Structure 1
Amino acid sequence: MILGCNFGSVAHTDMYNNLGNPAGVQGPNVNPQPNPFGNAFYGAGSGLIRGGLGAYGEKFLGSSSEFMQSNISRYFSNPQYYFQVNEQYVRNKVKVILFPLLHRGHWTRITEPVGGRLSYKPPIYDINAPDLYIPFMAFGTYIILAGFTIGLMGKFSPEAMSMQFTRGLAGWFIEVLLLKGLLYSLGGGEAPLLDLVAYSGYAFTGLSLTLLARLCWSYSYYALMPWMSLCMGIFLVKTMKRVFFTEMRSYEKHSSRQHYLLLFMAIAQFPLFFWLGKISA
């Protein structure tokens, strides 16, 4: 009985398959013949697309790298340039910062041909070149002397040191904005940002000397602070006038306005110095 049922089901299945494929009629071939022309066109088209995209990508990356390099050199210059100093440069530069009226030499920077264009010599060869070694060392000395002053007041704490550190950075930032705004208002050209950071950071040289004198004799603070403010103002006026002289047309066009803004920059050193020299816990 079971064999009969199985035989019937097999026969039914064979009959169903025979109905799907009648005798003498072959089913369609499921494997199409390859088209050599289509493959050739496809290979050529993909090659052209890849070549075009590759050329466009190289052009885009090349222009992007040139744009980034030009803007970095324009605003930030080469950081290593600002640390090419020696002992003689540091000693002479500090004299110029603290006693600018005694500087009998010129204030212009020395140029040299590099790669077919003129470039400024590093600080080790030019006393008028900006550097970042003195500003960073002066800022660190300023923070240390401020900590000693707070300790002598009996109010030393991490919070007090953090507040003094923040005040120093804020004063440095304000000085940079002051110089940047001066250049922008007169259209005196684009100075590298690190140049402005260096010029602004020289203020901590006079501030450190004032705090050191205050530790020795408290009343010397009131005599040295106005003097250091005046010296820093004169130094910045001499320096920024040199920057403006590189753009002669801008200087001739805004000569009277430039004098007023330079005077304002020099006067602004007094409240800024007294604010930075205020040590409080």
Structure 2
Amino acid sequence: MAYHSGYGAHGSKHRTRAAPDPPPLFDDTSGGYSSQSGAYPAPGADVAFSVNHLLGDPMANMAMAYGSSIASQGKDMMHKELHRFVSVNKLKYFFAVDTAYVAKKLGLLVFPYTHQNWEVQYSRDVPLPPRQDLNAPDLYIPTMAFITYVLLAGMALGLQQRFSPEVLGLCASTALVWVVMEVLALFLGLYLATVHNDLSTFHLLAYSGYKYVGMILSVLTGLLFGSDGYYVALAWTSSALMYFIVRSLRTAALGPETMGGPAPRQRVQLYLTLGAAAFQPLIIYWLTFHLVR
């Protein structure tokens, strides 16, 4: 019996031609990039090309020059507006202090009753800096006292297991708001009383910020000796600050040039000074009583 030509005898294997190998799915690129024209560029070549193209483009150079000009004009305008509202030279005057002045001024704030001369000293119609005149107001002590008060408030709240960043931020912001409100009230009172003086915003900030010294002493005494010590320190520092504010503001607001004015105006100016001084113990108590328990 004949078999089909493609098969052998019964039981033999089917013989076929071997199929070619399938093409690889990915090209082998382990040998590096090809040098042919269709190969990928070297790393960084496109960035260098973009930078060179940008620098060589006259429109891009013009845009960069125009942007630099606008930035320079904006910077000059910002400095001009800053100097319009805040004089850097005047601000430097209130920070011209030294160690001896700070020690004497702190003693004056705590015990001002023996101080005799409260007049601010001048040299060629220019007030002497604080380091040369104890009566000159400064912003160094109020600034450092404010920072110390915030840190002391955090320590007091921590000792009472009531510390949290929100409560500490509330203490700091409340103290700042009270000072701003006090300065605005003083400005309004001086304006309504038509007081002609040389008191600036920095002067009023300095006089309003001296209360932080009394606040620190009151809180420290309260933490060491309890509520009784707190109220004793509060009474002493409040009375000392009131005396200091009355003598300082009265000398500044009621200078020799205003002493010859009408009697009603002088009384209004005196009442304004007394009101500003009488308001200090209330602020000190409001900002410190919750720190001592």
Q: TM-score range with shorter-chain normalisation?
A: 0.5 to 0.7
Inter-CA distance 186–144: structure 2 relative to 1 (3 Å threshold): same
Identity across the alignment (%): 32
Inter-CA distance 167–214: structure 2 relative to 1 (3 Å threshold): same
Aligned length: 210
8 Å Cα contact 2:215/2:284 also seen in 1: yes
SS in 1 for 2:249: helix
Give, in whole Å, the separation in 2 of the partners of 1:264 and 1:151.
35
Higher relative contact order, structure no. (Cα contacts within 8 Å, ≥ 6 residues apart): 1
Among 114, 128, 142, the residue aligned to 1:102 = 114
1:144-201 deviation per Cα after TM superposition (whole angstroms, max 9, x unaligned): 1111110111111111111111111112213322332332232222522111111111
SS in 2 for 1:109: coil
Give, in whole Å, the separation in 2 of the partners of 1:255 and 1:162.
41
Give, in whole Å, the separation in 1 of the partners of 2:99 and 2:159.
32
8 Å Cα contact 1:229/1:269 also seen in 2: yes
SS in 1 for 2:100: helix
Aligned position for 1:260: 271
Query: Cα distance, 1:247 vs. partner?
Result: 6.2
Inter-CA distance 142–94: structure 2 relative to 1 (3 Å threshold): same
Give, in whole Å, the separation in 2 of the partners of 1:193 and 1:263.
19
Give, in whole Å, the separation in 2 of the partners of 1:134 and 1:174.
20
Amino acid at match of 2:222: R
Query: Cα distance, 1:236 vs. partner?
Result: 1.0
1:23-79 deviation per Cα after TM superposition (whole angstroms, max 9, x unaligned): xxxxxxxxxxxxxxxxxxxxxxxxxxxxxxxxxxxxxxxxxx8x9978755xx7611
- C-alpha RMSD of matched pairs (Å): 2.5
Inter-CA distance 193–214: structure 2 relative to 1 (3 Å threshold): same
Inter-CA distance 112–214: structure 2 relative to 1 (3 Å threshold): same
Indicate yes or no: 2:202 matched with 1:194: yes
Aligned position for 2:143: 136
Aligned position for 1:10: none
1:237-257 deviation per Cα after TM superposition (whole angstroms, max 9, x unaligned): 111111123363476321222
Alignment of 1:103-122 (within 5 A): 103-104=115-116, 106-113=117-124, 118-122=125-129
Inter-CA distance 99–199: structure 2 relative to 1 (3 Å threshold): same
Aligned position for 1:175: 182
Query: Cα distance, 1:214 vs. partner?
Result: 1.1
Query: Cα distance, 1:278 vs. partner?
Result: 2.8
Aligned position for 1:210: 218
Aligned position for 1:224: 233
In the alignment, structure 2 segments of 5+ residues that lack a partner are 1-79
TM, length-normalised to structure 1: 0.68
Between structures 1 and 2, the one with greater helix share: 1
Query: Cα distance, 1:83 vs. partner?
Result: 1.2
In the alignment, structure 1 segments of 5+ residues that lack a partner are 1-64
Query: Cα distance, 1:99 vs. partner?
Result: 1.3
TM, length-normalised to structure 2: 0.65
Moved more, 182-191 or 266-275: 182-191
Alignment of 1:1-281 (within 5 A): 78-104=90-116, 106-113=117-124, 118-189=125-196, 190-218=198-226, 219-246=228-255, 248-249=257-258, 252-253=261-262, 254-279=265-290
